[in-house]
Structure 1
Amino acid sequence: MAPLEPEEYIEQAYLFRALAERLPENHTVQDLLGQVKQELLSTTRLPLAIDFLLAEIKHAGTMASAMARLPHYFTPFQTYVIREAEAETGRFDMRIAVDILQHEAEYRSKSPRPQGLFMYQLECLCRNRLKYDPGLTAMAQDPVFDERWQSWISIVRAQMGLVDFGELIYVRSEYYWQARAKFDETPPADKPVLFDVKEGKIAWANRRKDPVYLFLAFQRHLGYPAVPRPKKIDQAPNLLPQLQAKIDRLETRLKLLEEDTKGGIDISKFYGPQPGG
């Protein structure tokens, strides 16, 4: 699989953004895909991909299964994110999933660096508590990553949680080998340099810290894409009806108290219709 043309990723970003904006309106994904398809450029392959998605949703009820059957268009990581959102036992919301894919597609449309894409995808796994093993396996199959990256991602998958993540990046950086140059050491063929000097410095400064600080530092200093956070739900529309119901109950109680002070409560008005009455 080769990376797609930038216009394909631009249209993908529009698709995922439209889904993220319209899903809160309680439309089904199937209906939204049909709507957005009319808004996309017909010169791209995305409308054809949506036709296939719609057919698979009608048949199997899921979108991830269709994406998995289009590996030449959707990456394994995109498929994995949607599969997790569709899982019945998970807490990963579809609105967050399409928001993540929107930002990823926008980054892909701008000649992404493999370092930036790797950090973005890994942060998505961390922040949303997705499974590392299948997530990193899907990442390694991305066409952006060559054999060197695929080999290193496999190492990260095996050592995640056992070795400090900052160390894993630092020892594969140009900054590390600059320090080893005074000992006439060079990178071995099986451990090529994957990160530059700036990335190595940031990784060194964030060793033995929460990986979230490392992600934020890369975003501040190198402009890596930020992972979208879950949006707070506005509770005001739900609070107003609840408040009105409480006020109605208080008014009813006050009326009962007033009747009680005037000589008793006439409970006959609470009787239901009597038989034959």
Structure 2
Amino acid sequence: MLDREEHIEQAHLFRVFGERMEAGIASQEALVSIGQEVLATTKLPMAIDYLVAELKLFGTISTAMSRLPHYFTPFQTFVIDRAEQEGGRFDMRTALAILEREATYRAAGATPQGLFFYRFECLSRNRLDYGQGLDAVAIDDIFDDEWKSWIRTVGRQVGLIDLGDLVCVRSPEYWRLEKRGALLAGREATGPDRVILFGEKEGRIARANRGKDPLFLFSALQRQLGYPAVPRPTPATSPTESPALLARRLQRLELRVKLLEEEARGGIDLSKFDPKNFQSPPGE
């Protein structure tokens, strides 16, 4: 796992890279300048140099990230790769915002539970491939073998079994309810037969959101437990669609309609447009 300062510098990279791309600066130029800004005591400057070299050769960043698995996680590579695909709806600005927030969360001390929910929501909100996406999610040092096995199981069962059920059954909340049900039925209660991955609070929230849209589950976890929220794409407002310009277009359309109406009545009176007939304001 990377040190805290590496995650902080990665967050800076993704944030500033997105800002400069939005400002119209070329990707290669932006990366070169960011490489000079980040801490030289981290490994990020060397990684950026490799990204720039790959960008010159192939025009992509994800290929370079895939060759640096010790520094960039497979999930980071997966997100950038999907953003670089032509014809896709997933925008590079959104991808960089996602990675920036994840790096910030990891610098603050991420938990396996919080990171899983964050990444799963990224896949859900942006309609990315669950199979490949969850495989990339699982390949991370923050997850132990039990977590990795469970995440791959979720990848096979997502869409068939509710996410709330998959989470609840791996929490103490499920076994508390099982124990209570056994006592009421007069039979002996059994303990958990699988590794507990989530806390009691996650289990209660998951049980309360069974059968609902998973986005409600993510939102509740963010409110109750402070898990990071996934950035949402903000549509860029084109200057050609400003209210003032639309108003001027509407005025021109009204003028054209009036001219057409006059022409239909028998002709356009051009004398109204003769500057000689315009009266000057009093006092001039």
TM-score by length of structure 2 reads 0.85
**Superposition pairs of residues 1-277 of structure 1, within 5 angstroms:** 3-181=1-179, 183-188=188-193, 191-236=194-239, 238-239=241-242, 240-241=244-245, 243-244=247-248, 247=251, 260-262=268-270
1:36 positional shift:
1.3
Q: Go from structure 1 to structure 2 and tell me whether the alpha carbon gap of 1:260 and 1:77 turns closer, same or farther (over 3 Å shift).
A: same
Question: Any idea what the Cα deviations from partners look like across 1:172-195, whole Å, max 9, x if unmatched?
Answer: 00111223345431222xx31000
1:28 positional shift:
2.2
- Distance (whole Å) between structure 2 residues aligned to residue 90 and residue 226 of structure 1: 23
| Stretch of structure 1 that moved more, 225-234 or 130-139 | 225-234
- Distance (whole Å) between structure 2 residues aligned to residue 250 and residue 175 of structure 1: 66
- Distance (whole Å) between structure 2 residues aligned to residue 252 and residue 152 of structure 1: 66
- Distance (whole Å) between structure 1 residues aligned to residue 233 and residue 105 of structure 2: 19
1:89 positional shift:
2.6
Q: Go from structure 1 to structure 2 and tell me whether the alpha carbon gap of 1:244 and 1:202 turns closer, same or farther (over 3 Å shift).
A: same
| Stretch of structure 1 that moved more, 21-30 or 57-66 | 21-30
- Distance (whole Å) between structure 1 residues aligned to residue 66 and residue 131 of structure 2: 18
- Over aligned residue pairs, what C-alpha RMSD do you find? 2.5
1:234 positional shift:
2.5
1:245 positional shift:
5.6
- The total of aligned residue pairs comes to 262
1:91 positional shift:
0.8
- Distance (whole Å) between structure 2 residues aligned to residue 107 and residue 44 of structure 1: 18
Q: Go from structure 1 to structure 2 and tell me whether the alpha carbon gap of 1:263 and 1:120 turns closer, same or farther (over 3 Å shift).
A: closer
Question: Any idea what the Cα deviations from partners look like across 1:85-136, whole Å, max 9, x if unmatched?
Answer: 0000311000000000000000010121000000000000000011101100
Give percent identity, aligned residues only: 49
1:4 positional shift:
0.1
| Stretch of structure 1 that moved more, 112-121 or 172-181 | 172-181
Q: Which ranges in structure 1 are unaligned for 5 or more consecutive residues? A: 266-277
TM-score by length of structure 1 reads 0.87
Q: Which ranges in structure 2 are unaligned for 5 or more consecutive residues? A: 274-284
1:52 positional shift:
0.2
- Distance (whole Å) between structure 1 residues aligned to residue 87 and residue 79 of structure 2: 14
Moved over 4 A (4+): 240-259, 262-265
Letter of the 2:191 counterpart: T
Question: Any idea what the Cα deviations from partners look like across 1:224-244, whole Å, max 9, x if unmatched?
Answer: 000011113224554355654
Q: Go from structure 1 to structure 2 and tell me whether the alpha carbon gap of 1:261 and 1:194 turns closer, same or farther (over 3 Å shift).
A: same
- Distance (whole Å) between structure 1 residues aligned to residue 270 and residue 63 of structure 2: 71
Q: Secondary structure in 2 aligned to 1:176? A: helix
| Stretch of structure 1 that moved more, 33-42 or 81-90 | 33-42
Question: Any idea what the Cα deviations from partners look like across 1:211-256, whole Å, max 9, x if unmatched?
Answer: 0000001000100000011113224554355654665676688789
Q: Secondary structure in 2 aligned to 1:224? A: coil
- Distance (whole Å) between structure 1 residues aligned to residue 19 and residue 80 of structure 2: 16
